[in-house]
Structure 1
Amino acid sequence: MLRAAASVFMLLGFYVVALLQLAAVLALVVWISVVGNAGVGIKLGLPLLFAVGATGVGLWRAIRTQPEPLHGLVVAPHDAPELWGLVHHLANEVGTRTPDEIRLVPEVNAAVSEDTKLLGLIGGRRRLYLGMPLLQALSVDQLRSVVAHELGHYSGAHTRLGAVAYRGRLAIGHTIGRIGRWNPVGWTFRGYARLYLLVDNAVSRRQELDADRASVRVAGPDVAISALRELPVIDAAWDFYFDRYLNQGWEAGFAPDDFFGGFGRLVAARHEELARLRDDQPEQHRSRWDTHPSQTERIALMRTAPRAAHPVDGRPAAMLVPSITTVGIALQREVVDIGSRQVLPWPQFTAAAATASLQRKADRVFRSLGRLTGTEDPGLGTLFDLVAAGRLGELAEEFYPDATRKEAAVKFVGAMDMLFTLAAIRSGTAYWRHSWTEPATLVDAHGTELDYEQIAKLAVSPATLEEARARLAEAGIRVEAAAIVERRATAGGSDVIGAMANLKVDGLHTDLVLLDRGLVFVPAPKSTDKGKDRLHSLLSSGPVEELATRFRFLPYEEIVAATVSKRTPVKAELRTHAGVTVTVEERWTGEQLGESREALLSVLDRIADRSVV
């Protein structure tokens, strides 16, 4: 109750400040109108009155906004009677009412919510959210501790006015967002907002410690500490799972048939690595702006708790659900938007992802090869012709700009090996072997690992090229199987590294989105107002690869040179392989998200140094 009560009190203070500022602004307008010019008074007062009026808009929106339940899979009592029995028992242990709903969510988290009325005086429907990764990675004992902590928020009445606290943050956020950066009224509001967050976050940290006490009381300090220490390990494993197993295939247009089941298998297979993560956790320290105390502070509190005997249940928490695989697939149907992606079993998904990655890298080489030779559909055969003519260094120097042509040709062995791997897969003589303990490996039909590096070393020299051809043929690898697919670079799989508003590109008003694979130029209005709003709206309008199809996209690989004539504001010229010059000029009135100017300068400097971006 304390947190929400503080939020209500501070929120009321926010509107008191607004009323005081309104009175001050009106007094200023009247005074200027009386002693000076009425027109001047109105011109000065209108922006200030607008800023104060924004508080009313923020309040109205906040009152009408309800916190939405987290998207997930509702698990009924008959679906998981043992899980429900555990939650019911723990609710009795901490002295609170059992949640009305258990909902599995696709994140490394657990939480509770309550729909209340009349500022929390009347309780409502309660929901317990359990992250699917927690069920897959925790023991029953550890899950008991996590659930007891969340139910402790109920017994401490922390959720009763949770919606009020939510609306308080929302109202202040709406208000601040509607006031211009240079409006003096906004300075007072922003200062008060910082004070509001300080108070609200301090109360939130105390509530977390109260919930920790409930967890220790039910599960014991040792289990509570182990569960707390396990959460960042699971979080790191979840990120690793997405980065190494999911993202590449997902971006290439594929999806695994068991999205969550794969994580469970990864956790089981990499238990030794996870154990090392537990041992290597750094000391954590939090600031006054954090909503949770540091892990160090929480563990110190848990260790002071009295020790008592508790039942031990070291079974995997997944056993609380009759069929965790079936439930995971049901959750996947509920929360994962597969779209038009091709759904594949994990071994085929991994193979498709790895091959798509190879093809993307090969296409990068083939596009440069096509520009150099004038070939419309370049492939490995085209590359062999270049080697035979003694010209490999001309191509290789683009990828190894710090080397001489002769040195670059020798270094091209790695790229040649990659192209041979692609040719072998496309020829049906090599396959990807999926593994949960290591990266996918290249094998033949009998499972023997393959390596084409020695043949690649032969293929980079005109003197030994024919021997390389013969060895490829002997291995059943068709040279023509490795050819270009993506003739023009796209933004597929790109990440946003910055965004800038109100530039001039070739003399036209333009907003710029910086990707890690190229630049997206978006036509912009002449007005320099609301640049950040436009950028946020643009980046939230859809995947970045779609932006690159809707607007002008300049891949970095098509830029042959960059000249930066001014760094603040940025002024530069880009020259493409096609001989086109693109001028980019930042304006003093421009806006940016984060440190986008530094990101742009870093890209331009690397191009200027003839590095591969």
Structure 2
Amino acid sequence: MVATFRALASVVMLAGFYVVALIQLVGAVALAFWLSTVLTGLLALKLALPLFGATIGAVAVALWKAIRAKPQPAPGLSVGPDQAPELWRTVHELATVVGTRVPNEIRLVPEVNAAVTEDAKLLGLISGRRILYIGLPLLQAMRVDQIRSILAHELGHYSGRHTRLGAVAYRGRLAMGGTISRIGQYNPVGWVFRGYARLYLLVDNAASRRQELEADRSSVRVAGRAAAASALRELPILDAAWDFYFGRYVHPGWQAGYAPEDLFGGFGELLVARQAELDEMRGAEPEGGGSRWDTHPPIPERIGIIAAAPDVPSAEDGRPARVLLPDIGALGRRLQQLVVDVGERTVLPWPEFTAAMVAAAVQRQADGVFRALGRFTGTPDPGLPAVLELVQDGRLGAFAEQFFPNATRKEAAGKFVEAMESLLQSAAVTSGAARWQHSWSEPARFVGRDGQPMQLTEIAELAVAPQTLPEAVARLTALGIDPAAGKVVQRRADATGARLLAALANIKVDGVDHDLLMLNRGLVLVSNPGKADKGTKRLRELVDSAPIAELASRHQFMPFEEVATATVRKQVPLKAELVLHDGRRVALQEGWSSELLEKHSRDTLLKALKSFDSPD
């Protein structure tokens, strides 16, 4: 019943989209006719032409592309019955129970999710090729009874005929999105289309939520209420663990130019090492809340409905789900080869990867200090010896106060201990006296050649005062750390690890048209951005085209650390002048036709410029 409703709703509302287009076309013709009675023919044509173009041109182009488009299978590793016989046997068994045919393909994917697709024909009347997607992290983390519940849920979508209209829904959303993207922001035709698209999504998503509840019944029928509920409870926990894994262990090293040798194997190791933390998370109730725009009901709601469903006796199977694969480690490495493009990154085993990742992060901190030192002293080759010389001369406070603007010079020198420790750690690694030791259960440890923790905090405290500096140097020497090894590596800041905060289109930089991206580390100035119209769309396409660091390398990047002062002459439209430490001046002028990536972009940029406290 749910599948029939969704099929009818999708087809009717998709057809309605073009009925709306026809009505708007008739309205545009009527408007043009009326305008011709009160205005000259040429002026009436100029006023009505944008409506004709939006209604006919945008819809026709979007519809043509949508008709030709075909949903593409998600990238992953296809495993046949000969490669994963136990997994296929389980799927065959579950398909029989829920009353559907087995999928044509099982594909492992790199995400905490499972899904099904079907390439049905004739608006879903004829069944097509089926693919079952299983996230490898699920097989690494769940129990057998939990994964059986997940698989039964997905197969339940097949038995409920939920996948038959997948291609229609896909093309419908593509046609609507394509139409809206081709209509200007202020064209009234676009307002009607956007309103109808929101209505379509509300109806389609409501049907999708009902389908999920229907598929949950298949899950209970196969695995029982306890396994079905525990599988749902596990999903947000694994999502959090996966995000933590990438944020803490993978992403920083990836940005530094390294890639782990065994990406998925590392996640499995993390799950074992952090079992106590995961168990603590399992003790908390899943968060509720939901939105009418969601495609899935909130997990607490689903668990509540499962608890009220008739139970089916089912033996608990606490074996790890990875037993369904003959060699999950080997399959994970094969999956990594298919879905991960390392580019020119250096591939390293986990111990070396973590050591290189943390060392690179510490070196970036040191480089920031060294570059500031170069600007402060005019030293062409700034390094740790030059910092120690400032300490010896009693000038460390004068240098450090730029990092601690609310502190006195004496206080700034004392606060410099943490930065000094980073400089010493960088010199120790470069000297070969220490390294960063990998751990799945805690942050990487700083250890000496003997593998024992090396503490440099006390030495850093000694190194920031002239009277204790000789003792600090002596201790460094005893540890085999050469201060001369502390050198600047990156002489100019880049956007590695930077985040996008705001973006503005149609900004004049020194009188030349640019688009501007504001990062937390500086400004990306994109010259020759194109026509002034559709600036917001252009910005979205730009930020979606490549990682932020890569965009900064392609275009002109102005690090904030190179800005000495900024003077805001006018707030709307924005007019400001930046003075760089090398004496260059950069004028920013926003035009009345400028567009924002999001409504707070100008305010965010203004706040950043005002932080430089330039006198007017």
What TM-score comes out, normalization by structure 2 length?
0.96
Q: Give yes or no for the alignment of 1:40 onto 2:43.
A: yes
Match of 1:460 in 2: 464
Match of 1:51 in 2: 54
Distance change (3 Å), C-alpha of 1:522 and 1:258: same
Distance change (3 Å), C-alpha of 1:531 and 1:75: same
Identity %: 59
**Deviations 1:96-121 (CA, angstroms, capped at 9, x unpaired):** 01011000111111000001111111
In 1, Cα distance between the equivalents of 2:433 and 2:123? 68
**Deviations 1:380-423 (CA, angstroms, capped at 9, x unpaired):** 11111111111101221111111111110111111111111111
Counterpart code for 1:596: S
What's the CA shift for 1:604? 2.1
Match of 1:264 in 2: 268
What's the CA shift for 1:303? 0.6
Q: Structure 1 stretch 507-516 or stretch 431-440: which is displaced more?
A: 507-516
SS in 2 for 1:115: strand
**Deviations 1:347-394 (CA, angstroms, capped at 9, x unpaired):** 010001011111111000000111111111111111111111111012
Match of 1:608 in 2: 613
Q: Is the 8 A contact 1:3 1:165 kept in 2?
A: no
Q: Give yes or no for the alignment of 1:449 onto 2:453.
A: yes
Match of 1:534 in 2: 538
SS in 2 for 1:540: helix
SS in 2 for 1:125: strand
Figure out how many residues of one structure are paired with residues of the other and give that number: 610
Q: Is the 8 A contact 1:388 1:465 kept in 2?
A: yes
Match of 2:213 in 1: 209
Which residue, 111, 125, 130 being the options, matches 1:126?
A: 130
Which residue, 518, 535, 547 being the options, matches 1:543?
A: 547
Q: How does 1:555-566 map to 2 (within 5 A)?
A: 555-566=559-570
Q: Structure 1 stretch 587-596 or stretch 479-488: which is displaced more?
A: 587-596
Q: Give yes or no for the alignment of 1:27 onto 2:30.
A: yes
Q: How does 1:256-335 map to 2 (within 5 A)?
A: 256-335=260-339
In 2, Cα distance between the equivalents of 1:437 and 1:525? 47
In 2, Cα distance between the equivalents of 1:587 and 1:607? 23
Q: What are structure 2's unaligned runs of at least 5 residues? A: none
Match of 1:513 in 2: 517
Q: CA RMSD in A?
A: 1.6
Q: Is the 8 A contact 1:6 1:199 kept in 2?
A: yes
Match of 2:12 in 1: 9
Which residue, 224, 227, 234 being the options, matches 1:223?
A: 227
Which residue, 591, 595, 598 being the options, matches 2:595?
A: 591
Q: Structure 1 stretch 231-240 or stretch 35-44: which is displaced more?
A: 35-44
What's the CA shift for 1:568? 3.0
Q: What are structure 1's unaligned runs of at least 5 residues? A: none
Q: Give yes or no for the alignment of 1:167 onto 2:156.
A: no
Q: Is the 8 A contact 2:149 2:231 kept in 1?
A: yes
Q: Structure 1 stretch 323-332 or stretch 367-376: which is displaced more?
A: 367-376
In 2, Cα distance between the equivalents of 1:37 and 1:69? 54
What's the CA shift for 1:5? 2.2
In 1, Cα distance between the equivalents of 2:286 and 2:312? 29
Q: Structure 1 stretch 248-257 or stretch 421-430: which is displaced more?
A: 421-430
In 2, Cα distance between the equivalents of 1:90 and 1:62? 35
In 1, Cα distance between the equivalents of 2:491 and 2:590? 32
Q: Is the 8 A contact 1:104 1:129 kept in 2?
A: yes
What's the CA shift for 1:122? 1.1
Q: Give yes or no for the alignment of 1:178 onto 2:186.
A: no
In 2, Cα distance between the equivalents of 1:525 and 1:161? 40
Q: Give yes or no for the alignment of 1:411 onto 2:415.
A: yes
Q: How does 1:128-167 map to 2 (within 5 A)?
A: 128-167=132-171
Match of 2:81 in 1: 77
What's the CA shift for 1:428? 1.6
Q: Is the 8 A contact 2:120 2:165 kept in 1?
A: yes
Q: Give yes or no for the alignment of 1:188 onto 2:192.
A: yes
Q: Give yes or no for the alignment of 1:90 onto 2:94.
A: yes
Counterpart code for 1:598: D
What's the CA shift for 1:246? 0.5
SS in 1 for 2:446: strand
Q: Structure 1 stretch 246-255 or stretch 505-514: which is displaced more?
A: 505-514
Q: Is the 8 A contact 1:502 1:524 kept in 2?
A: no
